[in-house]
């Protein structure tokens, strides 16, 4: 069994009378690229602030590399790099000069290490250029370089592709995969961009209104959840009304000739039987593959709260 490198147990945070994070318990194992998912304002950034010791929880605990973040903050963060929200740099200094300054905050490092992290994020050839000349995507990659300075075993990234164009997203996605595969770094990635997460993460945790609603590998979660089936029928309105009344089924959408439902696999036969017995012709039954977006919407819907 892989070692647990990041763990929360009953982690809770209030803002006045509202729970921003509510009894959150999750585990990240060595070697994971773990996607921490949720709608905007679901509590993701608050969780990361507690993981990095920037905010104290009102209940529960967080552990990094076996150390309690609250009681042993220095030890817990010694092997951890992080970007919390948007990285900030001195724009009129070069990339190298910025990293030299930030390295001093964590005990300092030599020129070779700065070259290594700039090379890892694809910015070595721009090391002498001022940050003000960098694109948003390059600034994000420089932020990851900063997080890599202490040669961490775990990197925590808070929305690293936020505001990027497709090319910038692709660059960051490929960088995350390289960190995992070539450098052996465990990555904890907070995001609401499901397509991006599905391409890079082996495990995910989904949070909604501060509570963990699902955790596991993407494959396990998709297999565990209900299936989506598209029925081609003769009477769309009647079929949708009828299926809405079947226990354990949910009508997702209708088109000119089809009704899509979400439900346990063993309810498909029941739905077909109900349609036929009601005089509705069934022309086709087509199972649809559930992806991470389908799972996410099923679990969290479209409700959002302030973080």
Q: Is residue 183 part of a domain?
A: yes
Q: What's the CA gap between 171 and 141, in Å, rounded? A: 8
* Residue 304 in domain: no
Highest-confidence segment of 23-27, 111-115, 226-230, 297-301: 23-27
Which domain CATH number covers 216? Answer: 3.40.50.300
Q: In degrees, to the nearest 5, what angle opens at C-alpha 298 toward C-alphas 197 and 231?
A: 110
Q: Does 240 fall in a domain?
A: yes
- Residue 305 resides in a domain: no
Same domain, 86 and 174: yes
Q: For the chain, what is the radius of gyration of the CA atoms?
A: 23
Q: Is there a single domain that holds both residue 139 and residue 269? A: no
Residue position matching structure tokens 């003769």:
234
Dig out the tokens for 29 from the structure: 């194992």
Residues 114 and 176 in one domain: yes
Local structure of residue 3 (DSSP, 8 states)? P
In-domain check, residue 194: yes
Residues 32 and 99 in one domain: yes
Domain boundaries, position 238: 226-289
Give a yes or no: residue 294 inside a domain: no
> In the chain, how many domains are there?
2
Identify the burial level of 224 via C-beta atoms within 10 angstroms of its C-beta, where 0-12 means exposed, 13-18 middle and 19 or more buried: exposed
For residues 145 and 41, what is the distance between their CA atoms, to the nearest angstrom? 27
3-state secondary structure 58-87: CEEEEEECCEECCCCHHHHHCCEEEECCCC
Location of structure tokens 């992806």: 291
- What is the distance between the alpha carbons of residues 229 and 262, in angstroms, rounded to a whole number? 7
Q: Are residues 215 and 231 in the same domain?
A: no
94 and 144 both lie in a single domain = yes
> Looking at the domain assignment, is residue 300 inside a domain?
no
pLDDT digits (tens, 9 = 90+) for 205-232: 999 999 999 898 887 787 666 577 889 9
User: Is the per-residue pLDDT at 302 higher than 70?
Assistant: no
What DSSP element (H or E) covers 200? helix 194-200
Contacts of 170 (CB under 8 A, 6+ apart): none
Q: Using one digit for the tens of pLDDT, what is the confidence trace for 149-198?
A: 988 999 999 988 878 888 888 888 898 999 999 889 999 999 877 888 88
Question: How confident is the model over 80-108, as pLDDT tens digits?
Answer: 999 887 788 999 999 999 999 988 877 66
Tokens describing residue 149 = 């300075």
What residue has token string 């700065």?
114
Asked if residue 307 is part of any domain, the answer here is: no
Q: Are residues 131 and 45 in the same domain?
A: yes
């Amino acid at each position: 069994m892989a070692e647990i490198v990041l763990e929360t147990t009953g982690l809770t945070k209030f803002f006045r009378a509202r729970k921003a994070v509510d009894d959150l318990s999750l585990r990240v194992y060595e070697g994971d690229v773990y996607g921490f998912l949720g709608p905007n304002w679901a509590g993701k950034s608050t969780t990361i602030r507690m993981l990095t010791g920037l905010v104290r929880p009102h209940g529960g605990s967080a552990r990094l590399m076996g150390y309690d973040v609250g009681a042993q903050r220095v030890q817990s963060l010694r092997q951890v790099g992080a970007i919390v929200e948007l990285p900030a740099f001195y724009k009129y200094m070069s990339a190298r000069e910025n990293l030299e300054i930030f390295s001093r905050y964590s005990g300092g490092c030599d020129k070779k290490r700065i070259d290594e992290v700039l090379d890892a994020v694809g910015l070595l050839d721009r090391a002498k250029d001022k940050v003000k000349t960098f694109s948003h995507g390059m600034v994000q990659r420089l932020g990851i370089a900063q997080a890599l300075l202490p040669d961490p075993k775990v990197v925590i990234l808070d929305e690293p592709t936020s505001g990027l164009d497709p090319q910038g997203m692709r660059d960051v996605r490929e960088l995350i995969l390289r960190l995992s595969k070539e450098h052996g770094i465990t990555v904890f990635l907070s995001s609401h961009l499901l397509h991006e997460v599905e391409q890079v993460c082996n495990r995910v945790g989904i949070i909604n209104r501060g509570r963990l609603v699902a955790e596991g590998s993407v494959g396990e979660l998709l297999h565990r959840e209900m299936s989506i089936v598209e029925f081609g029928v003769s009477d769309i309105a009647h079929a949708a009304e009828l299926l809405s009344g079947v226990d354990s089924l949910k009508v997702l959408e209708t088109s000119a000739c089809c009704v899509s439902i979400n439900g346990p696999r063993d309810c498909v036969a029941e739905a077909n039987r109900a349609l036929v017995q009601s005089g509705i012709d069934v022309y086709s039954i087509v199972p649809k593959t559930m992806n991470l977006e389908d799972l996410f919407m099923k679990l969290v819907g479209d409700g959002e709260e302030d973080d």
